[in-house]
C-alpha cells in the first residue's frame, strides 16, 4: 500500500471544513483523498562490470543517481524528466529542492550506515514533482518519490522539507529489508521507522546533536495560517499542531493512550507516536549525534531480517534490545538506554531482557 506523509484523517478533517475562507484547502483535500495510487514492487539494480583480469565485480560506489521528473500538474507518472546527475541546476526551485534532498537522504544513509541507496546496491533515486493540482501530500509508491505542491492555504509544498523526503524514501528502505505490514502496530512501526530516519537525515544534514535537534517531521510544510510546527513530533507526540481547522495532533506518547481505531489502517500514523517517542528517549539518553548509536541500533534491527512483517511494538522493542546487546554488549550504556526508552512509553517492563 502506498505510504503518504499526510495522514488520511487529517485530510478528511480539512475536506469537511465549511468556512468560505478555507474553500480552496477543503477542495484540495477532497481531491487528494480521491486519488488512488498504484504500488510498484521495490526494484533492485546491481551494477556489474568486468575487471582487467576478466572477473565479474559488483560496484557500489557511494554516489547518488537522481532523476527528477515534472508531472506538470497532472496525475500521471512519471512525468517529463527535467533534471539528472548530468543536468545543470534547474530554474524551478521545487525541482532543485527535490534533487538536493534526495542527495541529502542518500548521504545520510551512506555516512551513517554505509548503505548505498534505498536498496543498498545503488539503484536510481527517482522523484516526480508538481503532481496534480493543489495536491496535499507526498508519497512513495514503491518506485519513486512523488511530491504535491499543496493548496497554498494549509500546505505549501512538500519537496522543501528534508524530513518529509527522507521519511518517504525510508519507506523504500523498510520495504527492501522485508517490510512491515501496513496496518495496526506493524504499520505504526513502518511509519515510525520512517519518521526516525526522516528526522535523523535532517539532523545529519544540519550537523545537529540530540539537544539541538527539532525532532519534528514535516517542519515547514504548513502555511503561516496554521497553528502548528509540523506533522509530528518525536520529542512530544501530540504537540505538533493545535489548529482550528486541523484540530489537535492526536498522537499518543505512551501505551496507556494507544488509539484503537479501524481508520488510517488501524491508526498507523497515530500510534506511531509511541515507538517514535521510545526512539527519542533512547537517543536523548545517549546524547551526541543520534544516528551514531541510537540510529544504528534501529538500523541494525531493521536489517537483521529477524522481524516478521506482522511484528508488534513489543516484538520490535525486544529486537532493538537484542541489536543493542549484539553491537555494544548486554550490559552496555546503549542497551540500558534502549530498554529505558521502551519502558518510558509503556512497551517494556522494568526488567530488561535481551532475546
Cite the active site residues: 168, 269
Find the angle CA(319)-CA(324)-CA(330) to the nearest 5 degrees.
Answer: 105
Largest CA distance in the chain: 72
What does each C-alpha distance from 104 to 4, 41, 107, 301 come to in angstroms?
20, 24, 5, 23
Please report where in the chains the cell 511494538 appears, as a residue.
Answer: 313
Q: Distance between CA 325 and CA 329 in Å, rounded? A: 4
Q: Distance between CA 66 and CA 63 in Å, rounded? A: 10
Q: Give 112-129 as a 3 state SS string.
A: HHCCECCCCECCCEEEEE
The DSSP code for 16 is T
- 233 is written with which cell numbers? 513530533
- 347 is written with which cell numbers? 512497551
CA 80 to chain centre: 25
Q: Distance between CA 112 and CA 170 in Å, rounded? A: 14
- Phi then psi dihedrals of residue 251, to 5 deg: -70, 135
Nearest by Cα to 188 from 113, 116, 122, 264: 264
DSSP string, 220-251: T-B-TTSSBS-SEESSSTT-SBEETTTEE---
Is 343 buried (19+), middle (13-18) or exposed (0-12) by CB count in 10 A?
middle
The residues, any chain, with a CB within 8 Å of residue 354's CB and separated by 6 or more, are 318, 321, 322, 324, 325, 330, 335
The β-bridge partners of 233 are 216
Amino acid at each position: 500500500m502506498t505510504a503518504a506523509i499526510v495522514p488520511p484523517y487529517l485530510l478528511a478533517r480539512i475536506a469537511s471544513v465549511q468556512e468560505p475562507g478555507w474553500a480552496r484547502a477543503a477542495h484540495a483535500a477532497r481531491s487528494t483523498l480521491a486519488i488512488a495510487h498504484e504500488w510498484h514492487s521495490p526494484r533492485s539494480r546491481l551494477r556489474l562490470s568486468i575487471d582487467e583480469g576478466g572477473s565479474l565485480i559488483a560496484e557500489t560506489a557511494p554516489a547518488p543517481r537522481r532523476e527528477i521528473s515534472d508531472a506538470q500538474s497532472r496525475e500521471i507518472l512519471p512525468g517529463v524528466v527535467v533534471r539528472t546527475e548530468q543536468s545543470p541546476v534547474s530554474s524551478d526551485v521545487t525541482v532543485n529542492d527535490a534533487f538536493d534532498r534526495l542527495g541529502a537522504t542518500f548521504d545520510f544513509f551512506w555516512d551513517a550506515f554505509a548503505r548505498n541507496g534505498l536498496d543498498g546496491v545503488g539503484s536510481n533515486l527517482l522523484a516526480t514533482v508538481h503532481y496534480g493540482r493543489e495536491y496535499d501530500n507526498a508519497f512513495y509508491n514503491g518506485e519513486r518519490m512523488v511530491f504535491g505542491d499543496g493548496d497554498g492555504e494549509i500546505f505549501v509544498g512538500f519537496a522543501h522539507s528534508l524530513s518529509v523526503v527522507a521519511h518517504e524514501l525510508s519507506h523504500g528502505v523498510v520495504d527492501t529489508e522485508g517490510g512491515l505490514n501496513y496496518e495496526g502496530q506493524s504499520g505504526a512501526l513502518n511509519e515510525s521507522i520512517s519518521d526516525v530516519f526522516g528526522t535523523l537525515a535532517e539532523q545529519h544534514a544540519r550537523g545537529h546533536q540530540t539537544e539541538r535537534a527539532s525532532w519534528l517531521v514535516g517542519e515547514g510544510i504548513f502555511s503561516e495560517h496554521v497553528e502548528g510546527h509540523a506533522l509530528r513530533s518525536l520529542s512530544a507526540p501530540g504537540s505538533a499542531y493545535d489548529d482550528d481547522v486541523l484540530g489537535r495532533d492526536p498522537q499518543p506518547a505512551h501505551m496507556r493512550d494507544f488509539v484503537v481505531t479501524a481508520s488510517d489502517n488501524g491508526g498507523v500514523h497515530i500510534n506511531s507516536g509511541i515507538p517514535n517517542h521510545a526512539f527519542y528517549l533512547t537517543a536523548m539518553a545517549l546524547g551526541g549525534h543520534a544516528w551514531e548509536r541510537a540510529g544504528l541500533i534501529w538500523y541494525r534491527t531493521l536489517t537483521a531480517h529477524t522481524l516478521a512483517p506482522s511484528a508488534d511494538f513489543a516484538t520490535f522493542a525486544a529486537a532493538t534490545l537484542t541489536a543493542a546487546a549484539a553491537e555494544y554488549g548486554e550490559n552496555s550504556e546503549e542497551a540500558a538506554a534502549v530498554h529505558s526508552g521502551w519502558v518510558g512509553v509503556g512497551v517494556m517492563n522494568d526488567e530488561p531482557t535481551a532475546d
